[in-house]
Chain A
Amino acid sequence: MKVELQNLTKIFPSRNKKKGEPDVVAVNDFTFTIPDGKLVGLLGPSGCGKSTTLYMISGLQQPTSGRIFFGDEDVTDLSPVNRGIGLVFQNYALYPHMTVKQNILFPLQNLKGADKMTKEQMLQRAYEAARLVQIDELMDRKPSELSGGQQQRVAIARAIVKMPRVLLLDEPLSNLDARLRLQTREEIRRIQKETGITTVFVTHDQEEAMSISDLIVVMKLGVVQQVGKPQDIYDDPTNLFVAKFLGTPPINVFQGEVIGEKLYVGENAILDVKGVEDQPVTFAIRPEGFELNENGPLVCELSNVEVMGRDVSIISRHANAVSPIIRSIINADNKLDVSSTTVRYSLKPHKVFLFNAQTEERIYFN
């Protein structure tokens, strides 16, 4: 099922108008089409409106303006009851007094009219869903007797058992520990692929979003920053925020200036930037964008080297860097003189991004 969001806006009225507290615009003019059968990650820091967007798709919250379509059907005014969605809550909201089986059966028992099922059909469907998330051996346990990861899977089973048109996941991995998080995100990917249900999930963890999404929507303060495939967004961020938000370790940000189609940092011209007018710029270099070069134009003060086996991570400082440290990742085959006080780099041009110093919008160069 294709999901279309048209100019979606959500404004939470000020709780204290008299004291001049402004209204909160949680989501601002969000237009986006989620293609059928894809897994889409809404990504952004807390307070960026990603959960609000999810809840508007679910119908638990009403948009202030804008429309929501499932396929060709306008569902904006439908209550969540009639939207045919599955929602996995951040803390799962499993009914604590019911067993896993009863939890999964619950949505089926609500079906009415033509959709009404016999007991056998319901059980069969419940077990199918349970097998899909691999919890069919835990059907008689209570949620309190399950680990976090198992509860998560029960919640997913409960959400998909009635074959929703759209599956929504609110911070699905945030309550899991690091290892389970890795495991479960693969799991979510697999379940989504097997069922083919259009899925939207919310996360503040860029790695999570990058690793499993077909498409990522990066949001900030209620405004969509960039939409695209994970790799495309990483390789081609539209502004400094997106560049900084994606990538581990984070991108290295510098202040510099373009003079005569050359990028200067301090006194040194470090890169040719054709087609860019003279202006002060903010630029950012991905950690993998550095190359050790004894005569390289970028001279940094070497502070530490972390060996990671395959790679080395070199931590250095530079007077024009915005971030306190510069972290570069270099293949371990490169030999670095650790006793030296400076390290010199040349740069891979496609790993360097230029941004307008004021607007922080991307400036493209050849």
Chain B
Amino acid sequence: MKNENITEDSLVEQNAEPVLENQLPAEESIAPTAATKTVRRSFLDKVKFDSWKAWIYLLPALILLAVFTVWPIINTIRVAFLNDYNSLGEQGGETFQLGIGNFITILASGDDFRTALTNTLLICVITVPLSTILALLIAVALNSIKPLQKIYQTIFFLPYVTNSIAIGMVFAAVFDVVGDFAFPDLVQSWGFVNNILMKMGLDPVNWIDGLGDASYWPKMFVLIVYIIWNALPFKILILLGGLQSINKQYYEAAMIDSTPRWRVFTKITVPLLSPMLAYVLITGFIGGFKEYSSIIGIFGDDMAGGQLYTMVGFIYDALPDAQYGEASAAALILFAIIFVVTMINLWVSKKTTHY
């Protein structure tokens, strides 16, 4: 019955097959370059100036992008490399020397910048892996339950749609001590976490308002818990989506082969989820480097007396003092760090990710 349907084309294809089978790897290495070449050529063909209509349609968006994205980026680079830049002076006709003075100033100025850099790196290194692992476990758990799955999904997604400043204030209430920590008798509320600690017979901790170096880690702890919790919904959403798109037959095949659960997770789920994991890690790192509003939300706009300065915090703080040059230089340094880290991420994920 089927044989009657063979067309000439399919016959030719079939005849060619044995040869192709042996050449597969070679063919694969050629294929992408050939593909990109044709793409490029056709792209150039299309971008002709007689396509002016298309450009007119794009114009509003292009203008907005140019004014609010492209120019600020160019200007940031420009300002960063002008020594002792000040914008009032520029408008008064003052000229500035080209140089790396701003970079030297912030690197030499010492503590604030160094604190910002250390904090930012610490936040990234701790929160990104932890939140990713947690999100993965929660996503797998969510994916394996049937009843109430939608409700749990909604609950886990709530932090994502809630304003981070508002959440920061709630977190402050969970950790904060109302009253003066130094005078326990006058304290009105120890906060949720301290109450639990005290129930367990432990000493309360001054999470938010502590002074001095010893108060750094409690504060950092609060911040990290907050950031992880805040980062979870997005990651869970992405990973859950990824999990649900994995073909169920892989699991059935694994089941037939009596694969233990842990092995199914590490050998099948994680590798097949790796594109999503890579995405979540990369965006996680980028987000971590830009951490700022959560700190304001919990610790107020002096960022715990500067103890919890981050790179973005440092940049924003420089602005009221009209230190645009230094802020721009810091922004470029942040950009460079994010760029390098992302490149490393991409490089690693290319080696380990299965697409």
Chain A residues with a Cβ under 8 A of chain B: 58, 60, 79-82, 85-87, 89, 91, 93, 95-97, 106-107, 109-111, 141, 145-147, 150, 158, 162, 177-181, 205-207, 248
Interface: B105 (CB within 8 A): no
For window 237-263 of B, CB contacts with A under 8 Å fall at 247, 249-250, 252-260, 263
Please tell me if the beta carbons of A95 and B2 are within 8 angstroms of each other in the complex: no
Please tell me if the beta carbons of B21 and A150 are within 8 angstroms of each other in the complex: yes
Chain B residues with a Cβ under 8 A of chain A: 1-3, 5-6, 10-11, 13-14, 17, 20-21, 24-25, 28, 247, 249-250, 252-260, 263, 267-268, 271-272, 274, 354
Known contacts A79-B255, A81-B255, then 12 further A-B pairs from the complex at CB < 8 Å, ordered by chain A residue: A89-B249, A95-B250, A95-B268, A106-B254, A106-B259, A145-B28, A147-B17, A147-B20, A158-B253, A162-B257, A178-B2, A206-B1
On chain B, the residues within 8 Å of A91 by CB distance are 249
- A-B contacts counted at CB < 8 A amount to 83
Please tell me if the beta carbons of B2 and A80 are within 8 angstroms of each other in the complex: no
On chain A, the residues within 8 Å of B6 by CB distance are 178-179
Bound Cα distance from A205 to B4, whole angstroms:
14
Q: Which residue of B lies closest to A88 (CB)?
A: B253
Tell which of A80, A158, A162, A206 has the most Cβ of chain B within 10 Å.
A80
Describe B's contact surface by its main secondary structure. helix
Please tell me if the beta carbons of B268 and A89 are within 8 angstroms of each other in the complex: no
On chain A, the residues within 8 Å of B252 by CB distance are 60, 80, 87, 89, 93
Q: Which residue of B lies closest to A83 (CB)?
A: B256
Please tell me if the beta carbons of B14 and A93 are within 8 angstroms of each other in the complex: no
Given contacts A91-B249, A145-B24, A205-B1, contact A80 B268 (CB under 8 A): no
Please tell me if the beta carbons of A207 and B2 are within 8 angstroms of each other in the complex: yes
The answer, among A80, A178, A205, for a CB contact under 8 Å with B255, is A80
Bound Cα distance from A106 to B251, whole angstroms:
13
On chain A, the residues within 8 Å of B254 by CB distance are 106
The answer, among A60, A96, A178, A205, for a CB contact under 8 Å with B5, is A178
Bound Cα distance from A298 to B258, whole angstroms:
62
Separation in Å of the B4 CB from the closest CB of chain A?
9
The answer, among A85, A150, A177, A179, for a CB contact under 8 Å with B256, is A85
Q: Which residue of A lies closest to B14 (CB)?
A: A179
Q: Which residue of A lies closest to B268 (CB)?
A: A95
Given contacts A60-B252, A95-B250, A95-B268, contact A180 B258 (CB under 8 A): no
Bound Cα distance from A109 to B249, whole angstroms:
19
Bound Cα distance from A145 to B23, whole angstroms:
10
On chain A, the residues within 8 Å of B258 by CB distance are 81-82, 107, 110-111
Separation in Å of the B139 CB from the closest CB of chain A?
19
The answer, among B10, B247, B256, B271, for a CB contact under 8 Å with A178, is B10
Bound Cα distance from A162 to B259, whole angstroms:
13
Separation in Å of the B188 CB from the closest CB of chain A?
57
Q: Which residue of A lies closest to B24 (CB)?
A: A145
Given contacts A178-B6, A207-B1, contact A89 B253 (CB under 8 A): yes
What are 19 contact pairs spanning A and B, CB under 8 A?
A80-B252, A81-B256, A82-B258, A85-B256, A87-B252, A91-B249, A93-B250, A95-B250, A96-B354, A97-B272, A106-B254, A145-B24, A147-B21, A177-B13, A178-B6, A178-B10, A179-B6, A181-B2, A206-B1
Please tell me if the beta carbons of A86 and B1 are within 8 angstroms of each other in the complex: no
